[in-house]
Amino acid sequence: MRAAIILLLLLCAWPLQADSQTVQWARTGYPPFFILSGHEAGQGSVDRLVEHYMQRLPQYSHLLLEASLQRAFREMQRGLPVCHASLVVSEERKQFMDFSEANQVQFANGLVILGSRRSLFEPFMDDEGYLDFSSLVTQSTTSIQRVEGRSYSPEIDLALKSHSAVPFQVEKGVNRNAVSMLRLLSGFVDGWLARPEEALYQARLMGRGDEIAFIPIRQAREFSLARVGCAKGEWNKEFFQQLNAVIRDSRGEPAQIRAYQRWLPQSLWKKHADLTRQQFTP
């Protein structure tokens, strides 16, 4: 990033109170959206979005903050000037967040499995290969991994909430995707609720990218529209006006699209480009 941008990495403290000229960007451990360590640190698809916004909005002081999603939400609820650059809107989140215009098309969450164990899920799949998630969680004994505080889609979230008595393996904290993939590969869980790009990223890191499969969920949309979510307050009014102008100007740019596509299976590149064009072309 350019030296003119103010960068501070605060791992343990959130000291700033609401300030209309300061924005704190939460970086949560969900590769390849945010990559917090290794030789590709800072090169995640949402890392690049944040970098772009920081460069295009130099009138603000920008702070980068590493935290779990739950911790970031707690700070937003306290009214601190915290933003996350890639969130799905939900009614619960709207109670303490305001949202930008859509900034990125992302493939929807589905169920990541081992290809060798597909037969476990076939009774709950239709002829087109889509999974009936509600039937799965109520009628099967499969063990499903999910992450605390994460919104998967309005439809999946409703199924999770409606069937809260069903046991799920719940992960908390920063950078839990590696643990989730290890549990899947070891057979500790049968499925993992995730997006195709994050699952493929972890499997490739472990040298086992050819062992996993992705099942889309019938109740969920094929894609979701990500948005910047920030803590409510007077501090964000002017910021959102300026941010939305940047988003509208750049969300269809090839560089912005490639920042996400580079982490997808190549077979999905054209589909993503088509969806982006459909959603963002005036």
89, 96 in Cβ contact below 8 A? no
CA dist 188 and 206 (Å) reads 17
Sign of CA dihedral 92, 231, 104, 208: negative
96, 72 in Cβ contact below 8 A? no
Residue position matching structure tokens 């476990």: 120
CATH superfamily ID and name for 9-106+225-280 = Periplasmic binding protein-like II (3.40.190.10)
Pick the range with the lowest mean pLDDT from 5-9, 19-23, 33-37, 186-190: 5-9
Of 113, 86, 119, 124, nearest in space to 219 by CA:
124
198, 31 in Cβ contact below 8 A? yes
Q: How sure is the predictor about 243, in pLDDT bands with cuts at 50, 70 and 90?
A: very high
Single-letter amino acid code for the residue at 282: P
Domain parsing of the chain, residue ranges: 9-106+225-280, 110-215
Residue position matching structure tokens 């909005």: 57
Which residues lie below 8 Å from residue 158, measured CB to CB, with a gap of 6+? none
Dump pLDDT digits (tens) for 106-120: 998 899 999 999 999
CA dist 94 and 231 (Å) reads 9
The DSSP line for 115-176 is GGGGGGTGGGB-TTS-B-HHHHHHH----EEEETT----HHHHHHHHHTTTS--EEE-SSS-
Residue position matching structure tokens 């920063």: 174
Taking residues 250-275, report their average pLDDT. Answer: 89
Single-letter amino acid code for the residue at 242: Q
3-class SS of residue 92: helix
- Rounded percentage of the chain residues whose pLDDT exceeds 90: 54
How would you classify residue 145: left for phi > 0, otherwise alpha for psi between -120 and 50, otherwise beta? beta
CA dist 97 and 117 (Å) reads 40
- Rounded percentage of the chain residues whose pLDDT exceeds 70: 89
The DSSP line for 167-227 is --EEE-SSS-HHHHHHHHHHTS-SEEEE-HHHHHHHHHHTT-GGGEEEE-BTTS-SEEEEE
| Pairing assessment for the beta strands 191-194 and 110-114 based on DSSP bridges | antiparallel
- Same CATH topology for 9-106+225-280 and 110-215? yes
Q: Exposed, middle or buried by CB within 10 Å (0-12, 13-18, 19+), for 264?
A: buried
Which CATH class for the 110-215 domain? alpha beta
Residue position matching structure tokens 């030789």: 39
Dump pLDDT digits (tens) for 163-210: 765 556 555 544 577 888 999 999 999 999 998 898 989 998 999 988
